[in-house]
Amino acid sequence: MTTPNGRVEVICGCMFAGKTSELINRAQRAKIAGYKIQAFKPSIDNRYTEDTICSHNTVELDATPVEPSNEKLKDILHLVEEDTDIVVIDEANLFENKLQEVVKSLSEQEYRVILSGLDQDFRGEPFRPLPYLLAIADNVEKRTAICEVCGKPATKTQKLINGEPAPYDSSVIDVGASEKYEARCKECHDVR
């Protein structure tokens, strides 16, 4: 199969907006078209399994876990096989900032790179390294969820501690799902 032109696609939004489902859907469609896919995920994301990207509705894609630290991120470049066409990276927000260099390098080597991740942390602030990835992306899809309080379109991620909104100084990197997070609209989002 001929390698597609190098490009970067980012799927972003709040928790429960279907980012990972869309990422898996794009990968599965590319496989049907005959492209070779390699998928990566941060090793700290072990919510469902160690070696798959898994959506909240349990659709899976085999993936290689990678240490998210700046020192280890370049491992992705060494792990991508020569006959790979498309590189998929889930939970980009959990990687440190050097992910941007890895993605740029992959796209310059003519790989199609598809990433998904939270564009904002629970405080409503830009989530590393998404601002840079959004800037270099050839295509950005921003997805919304449904506010779990009022039912309006949600663009924010609400972190909860013991069922209450998390204080501003809580840890930004805190892997979890519905036991720790809710999708919220701007009006219902509460940071203390």
Catalytic residues: 91
CA 21 – CA 1 distance, rounded (Å): 25
Phi and psi, residue 183, nearest 5°: -85, 135
Exposure string (b/e) for 129-168, b if CB count within 10 Å is 16 or more?
A: bbebbbeebeeeeebbbebbbeeeebbbbbbbeeeebbee
